[in-house]
Chains A and B, each alone.
Chain A
């Protein structure tokens, strides 16, 4: 079975072939609860073992550039101003003004009301604008409000939508309502010309309590048509960890084996150092392989990570340790 990307028309046909498991709440629950249980000790041990790789010199330089190109440079603060969003966009376009060889980040990630500002700032480049939507970060709003939030961001020029699932419904076992909601948001990502913004589905793994729930949520999101599955909002205590990201990568791998549909993964929150980022890249390479080692299929949701990557990059190119005076404050 050839692999197709989750955002194409073929993917919809493949997902239609799985319609039996999403036909009713009961069928969906049977399917999700029928997924194999996660061995937490084994999962954490494997994630930790893969984190011990030593990556130096040219491999490190490659990893740093790859990681920079995978960043969704994020600002999600109540205090965001148009000026801050423009500054962030300028940084995404030209992360290190002292070295023009530095790759651009994949995207800037902002709140919906800032999408127009960001889109204007990155126009004409390959940097995308991602927008959180659906009453981010809590997701506590009525469905029409969430859909309007999404449509608004898409109309303003967002290339990608980061939605949050209704954790309350998920934890209460109302899987079908979560499923229908994701499908509805995916529908709202469509543009009048027939193209669509890519949809990232945030599970907020820190609120799902168990690894089994993360695996179920991953499958649920992918069945509903997610283009990306994303760990967290960055707004709770526990965000992306190597273990929960490894688990989601395994889900993505298994989903491709079952349906032939390729789905991306985005760990977000708490990834601050080059060392952390390289651990995640090792996880990707060892779990789903090189096909995912591009910013089409793997992203980091981060803000301060970029500065650390730039400082390490400067160290590699000059041989001198750099410092925070040589990168921007935000």
Chain B
């Protein structure tokens, strides 16, 4: 067997449920923590970002309109598929982050558990973020959380899988669609995650994965008029400032970068980050002597 030719994997983007190369045709070399070459990854251009936004917008109607229960089932399915490819992800995370096998395995397990956590949350967000409000008038007043829309996510630079899952899962659990820019130095687990999503009943376009230089791809996404929110988790302070300025143009919702321990209990903060509250006033009519108007 020693003279068998190596079969290298061509890492590709994940856009609209398909696996295209970068529109620009460019790639860059990805190395492990010691500088050893691992693979070439696509170096996305702003046109890839544009195409990804179009795909995410197209998917938004179906995904946000799906029942929360259905979204939960699909996210749980992602966890199942990820579990089946655990070994591959352990190897990729170990290479990417320079971890021992056991530490990498802990990261992957935590990432799988995080999908399950957010899968469970899909049909419970409305109970904690919405509700009926007491108002001083003859109205039923109901608030319900609705997804913000297309969310651009800059994945954390250091935590290549757990950090990535921790930022995209809450966004899509809430019914948003996502364009995610992977960790610049360690994009391979994210690109492989695209393959998992493609086989998990997640409709094409709900998650779109772009690898490349974060600053290059993030700039057009932050300025894009059809992106509704941006999560700056993977941006350094200087880049985050520039992106927030660009994002102000169409009043994008911006989640600023903050130090996060990805291994800790995620809480509901990121679930709530990309929701809009719709409040409905419904007249009850006069409930006086004439009785109910119903």
- Does any Cβ of B come within 8 Å of A94's Cβ? no
Contact of A326 among B53, B223, B225, B227 (CB under 8 A): B225
Q: Distance (Å) between the CB of B70 and the closest chain A CB?
A: 26
Interface string of B202-242 (1 = CB under 8 A from A): 00000000000000000010011111000000000000000
Of the listed stretches A38-46, A255-263, A317-325, name the one at the interface; the rest are far from the partner chain: A317-325
- List residues of chain B with CB within 8 A of the CB of A323: 53, 57, 224-227
Q: Would you mind naming 24 contact pairs between A and B with Cβ atoms under 8 Å apart?
A: A314-B225, A319-B223, A320-B223, A320-B224, A320-B225, A320-B249, A321-B50, A321-B53, A321-B220, A321-B223, A321-B224, A321-B225, A322-B225, A322-B226, A323-B53, A323-B57, A323-B224, A323-B225, A323-B226, A324-B57, A324-B226, A325-B225, A325-B226, A326-B225
Q: Please, which residue of chain B has its CB at the minimum distance from the CB of A321?
A: B224
Instruction: Report whether over half of chain A's contact residues are helix, strand or loop; otherwise say mixed.
Output: loop
Q: 5 closest Cβ contacts across the A-B interface?
A: A323-B226, A320-B223, A321-B224, A323-B225, A322-B225
Q: CA A321 – CA B225 in complex, angstroms? A: 6
Q: How large is the interface on A (under 10, 10 to 19, 20 to 34, 35 or more residues)?
A: under 10
Return B252 CB to nearest CB of chain A, in Å.
Answer: 12
How many interface residues does B have (CB within 8 Å)?
Answer: 10
Expressed in whole angstroms, the Cα–Cα distance for A324 and B250 within the complex equals 13
Residues of B in contact with A (beta carbons under 8 Å apart): 50, 53, 57, 220, 223-227, 249
Complex CA–CA separation, A51 to B53 (angstroms): 25
Q: Which residues does chain A contribute within 8 Å of B227, judged by CB atoms?
A: 323
User: What 0/1 readout, one digit per residue, does chain A (298-317) give for beta carbons within 8 Å of chain B?
Assistant: 00000000000000001000
- Closest chain-A Cβ to B199's Cβ sits at a distance in Å of 30
Chain B residues with Cβ below 8 Å from A324 are 57, 226
- CA of A25 to CA of B223, assembled, Å: 64
Residues of chain B within 8 A (CB-CB) of A322 are 225-226
- The interface residues of chain A lying within 8 Å CB-to-CB of B249 are 320
Q: How far is the CA of A319 from the CA of B224 in the complex (A)?
A: 9
A214 to B109, CA, bound (A): 63
Can you name 13 extra interface pairs (CB under 8 A) apart from A320-B224, A320-B249, A323-B225? Answer: A320-B223, A321-B220, A321-B224, A321-B225, A322-B226, A323-B57, A323-B224, A323-B226, A323-B227, A324-B226, A325-B225, A325-B226, A326-B225
Most interface-central of A320, A322, A324, A325 (chain B CB within 10 A): A320
Q: Could you say which residues of chain B place their CB within 8 Å of the CB of A321?
A: 50, 53, 220, 223-226
A319–B226 CA distance with the chains assembled, in angstroms: 14
Q: Which residues of the other chain, A, contact B223 by a CB distance below 8 angstroms?
A: 319-321
Separation in Å of the A322 CB from the closest CB of chain B?
A: 5
